[in-house]
Chains A and B, each alone.
Chain A
């Protein structure tokens, strides 16, 4: 059965069981997000997709749509809060875009552009996060990890491998790989894994592929995130 709710005043149809972000995407309305990916079980951790439902804030990727809901999305208040979350992610890790192979294809960066983030605002944490270059085909640069857990879900739910997981707690939460050595080379990870395709930032990088497309001509250099919904949700 089909019902509707309103999103910034626009009527959005939805089907039973759909979340707000699913219904919005289908109707062509962009809600900023980082840990959400249409192919995976919603996680609800980045909180970028927070909307106001009947005046109360909630993550639109985990909240099921229901008939008659009044949802606010593209408001100055919400975008300011989303911008602050983006700034938090930038200072939490080491995000040096000019030296990042994902620059221009990065969902975090594109979302920050979308939200008009002119500076990271907060003091940087400058954490020490060694890279893992052990794997012959893939480099892991943990400096850019935003803990969205998309690779965790892809490896577990699609690849059936559990190559990745989050460990630690709080600000010390970090990505680990499935090997006693802690090295990706000692896992059964391959380039063909779904987990190799889903990183929204520049952690999981294919080696010897650097700068094949020059900076300035990449995905979000051409089309801003949110302008094309496939762009917004597909990952790289």
Chain B
């Protein structure tokens, strides 16, 4: 047998094994591709050949999906695929010299695969390790606290082709860094407590299960069981923790009341695609309080009448998959998942974990659902909304990790207890992912209403010039605003809290964020697809010293266009970091406004470099400077 045939056969074997485990259902395409790649290091054409057959889908569909996600490769990227987290916080911690060091060490260029096919080194969007950066991913496993020494060790391990399983365990250690705990991070709730409390809200003549519609619809709302639980969520005044702050009770109620066609069911989805740069609190919740999250999901299922749930875990947190699955397994054994949960007949609920593959846009709930369905993560046209037409066109709630954890606490302690914490319009607590220039980065849980200043004091921040709250899509807060507070009344946040001291260049912060949006734009709609690239080019133009007032006007116009015309929040907010920093840190921009008149975005003299090289000329006429050398006069 020819080598290529053997290869094809081996690949087909891998594909068959993976696809069979996923029931050969194309809805699991993303999971199948991800696992095939784990076995093959990339997605060779032979794998796609075989997938076409076993899944019965056209090649275009497979390649369309594979091409969308940053962590899926249709070209070989090496046995070791190293991706440095490229958030501004990682950069501030010195990631760039480390990338150079590793590349020099391994004799490779960033972004390219080594000639022997052993290794590639590139950058990726924030991997959620800002409190212990610089960080990288090697074959989707996180390595934190990078130093020059550690980089040299990594190079050595790669050169020696040491299997990842034999790399020092200490490399892969991820700290929780819980610095300030309140009701959630300090919770001592035992698994099942919340569910039992929710069950107790059922009257004694119970035996009523959440998914028995006839039962539920027959009861007036607000007196028992699931509807009583819904009332608690509403009374708690719980709002979504993903940033937008939609009332959780309303969302659950809309899903609960959604009409279903025969054969349809409801779904509970936990959004653990924590992709907003600078955010890592869900990582900590899923590490230290996963039971709380799963309990919240189960409470939600009980409340809305769902039998299936998904946790959509960002690919960067791949290392959490095993421990999370172990917890799910334990919960099944303890009858907190599966059939007749805690003895309630008909109360059936299962949770599956799906992994993302490097696409920030999948944090948008409808894109997340598309991704769960094994498709490209393109945000849907809305309406209709997921609560009526979600996963597989069926009623679905999508909530943040922290929202579910809060729901579990509410199930146990009641809505009134929860509503009494925080402020009038922002009940409960908020976990902040604190990183950047401070002494104690980590997660901090506060009742809503805490001031920026308080957080800065608690984490030991000095000479702070700005705080980027809620990541690049959030807002940039300057010194005179430090008395503003975290909460839906003032500054809502998904949790990121990145600090920059007086030594930092806020222009470069904004430029980093703009690069992020450009990289993560899904490409579906014209304004965001092209506009984020234009914006990135304009910021690079300023960075490269070609800026003029013309470019500022262009940024302003692009911002209006993206806000008005974009398909989803990514495009709407892509200009935020620039606008905020222009408004608040104007000198950082003025420094870049080197010209009064319009200048080209590229260096004209450098544009002759190839011709100079080919002709071996270096006379004055072979250059273009600010002056018209050839004509002997000033331009």
Contacts and interface: CB of A to CB of B under 8 A. Distances in A.
B167 interface: no
B60 A92 contact: no
Contacts, number: 119
Contact of B564 (A57, A167, A178): A57
Given A169-B359, A171-B518, A50 B530 contact: no
Given A88-B527, A89-B530, A178 B557 contact: no
Contact of A170 (B66, B532, B601): B532
A165 B60 contact: yes
Interface string B508-525: 000000000011111111
Contacts of A81: 560-561, 564-565
A173 to B, nearest CB: 3
B61 A162 contact: yes
A168 B381 contact: no
B518 A123 contact: no
A88 B59 contact: no
A163 B376 CA distance: 17
Contacts of A42: 381
B530 A47 contact: no
A65 to B, nearest CB: 13
Contacts of B529: 92, 147, 170-171, 173
B544 to A, nearest CB: 13
A171 B525 contact: no
Interface residues of B, number: 43
Contacts of A161: 58
Interface string B546-586: 00000000000100110011110000000000000000000
Interface string A158-191: 0001111111111111001111100000000000
Interface in B356-391: 359, 376, 381, 383
Contacts of B518: 170-171
Contact of B565 (A50, A123, A166, A170): A50
Contacts of A171: 518, 521, 523, 529-530, 532-533
26 contacts: A47-B565, A47-B567, A59-B381, A81-B560, A85-B565, A92-B533, A123-B534, A123-B537, A125-B533, A162-B60, A163-B60, A164-B60, A165-B63, A166-B523, A169-B70, A169-B521, A170-B520, A170-B523, A171-B518, A171-B521, A171-B532, A172-B523, A176-B63, A178-B60, A180-B49, A180-B59
A111 interface: no
Contacts of B502: none
A173 B64 CA distance: 9
Contact of B67 (A88, A89, A146, A168): A168
Given A91-B530, A147-B529, A166-B64, 5 more contacts: A46-B526, A88-B531, A123-B534, A176-B60, A176-B63
A51 B70 CA distance: 34
Nearest to B601: A123
